[in-house]
Each structure stands twice: as structure tokens, then as C-alpha cells.
Amino acid sequence: MDKKLLILVGIFFVTFGTFVSIVFTRSQTQPALIKAQQAQNINVEKSLIFAVPASNGCEISVVINDNDSKPVKDVSVCIESDPSTFTPICKNTDESGISTMSLLNISSRLTISAKANGSLLPSTVSCYPKTP
């Protein structure tokens, strides 16, 4: 009987200790989670996409802004084309809210669109192959 009671008391303290540590750890990380969620408050209507011709393709830059038109960092930005000639390219924005990707060896005109955290930006850009 004493062994069973000791085992039950031991299980109680282990469970209680785990519960307490989770509660205190979560309360310390909660402000960081809230800050991260606020940082991801993007506004695709105020975000921009640019295409700049490069030596053998074009460079696509996407600027992600929030509701106050301020840049947002660490946003996943993916570009895709119409017609679909490549697998979507994804890259996170930097400190200034810009994500830059290169498209090389383009054989035909492409219309490029961008998604920020899965939300489609309303504007598109065109990328043309290099003319000889």
C-alpha cells in the first residue's frame, strides 16, 4: 500500500511541476508571440512589386508594408508566373521589408505575381527575355 501511495504522490508532483513550468514559461513567451503576430500585420494593398531587367533575365523585388505603410520584416514572399514556367520561388523579407529574387534564362514574356504569407498582391509585373 505504501508503494502505491508513493507512486501516486510522485506522479502528482511530476504532473504538477510540469503544469507550473508550462504556465510560467508560456507567460514569459506570450509578449514575444504577440509582437510576432503584430509584425505580420501586412497590407497587400500597400505592398509593391517591381521588375528590373538583368543581364540574362530580370530581378523581382517585392516590398511588403503594413497598414501604416511601414515595411514588415520576416514575411514569406512567393513569386509565380503566368504562364507557369517555373516552380514558385519563396524568400522572406529583410529588415527593410524587401524580398528580392532573380529569374534567369527567360525564353518568353512572363507575367509575375507575388503572394505575401499566402495573400495575393493586387499588382503584377512583366518580365521579358533578353533581346539579341
pLDDT digits (tens, 9 = 90+) for 11-51: 888 888 888 777 777 655 555 544 544 456 888 888 999 99
Q: Which of 75, 88, 80 is nearest to 40 (CA)?
A: 75
Kindly list the domain boundaries of the chain, sorted by start residue: 1-39, 44-127
Q: Helix or strand or coil: residue 70?
A: coil
pLDDT digits (tens, 9 = 90+) for 67-107: 888 999 889 999 998 877 788 889 999 999 999 998 888 88
Higher pLDDT: 132 or 17? It is 17
What pLDDT shows up at residue 1?
63
The CATH number of the structural domain formed by 44-127 is 2.60.40.10
Query: Do 64 and 35 form a contact (C-beta atoms < 8 A)?
Result: no
Pairing of strands 110-116, 119-120: antiparallel
Q: Which residue has the cell 510522485?
A: 10
Q: Which of 93, 78, 70, 75 is nearest to 37 (CA)?
A: 75
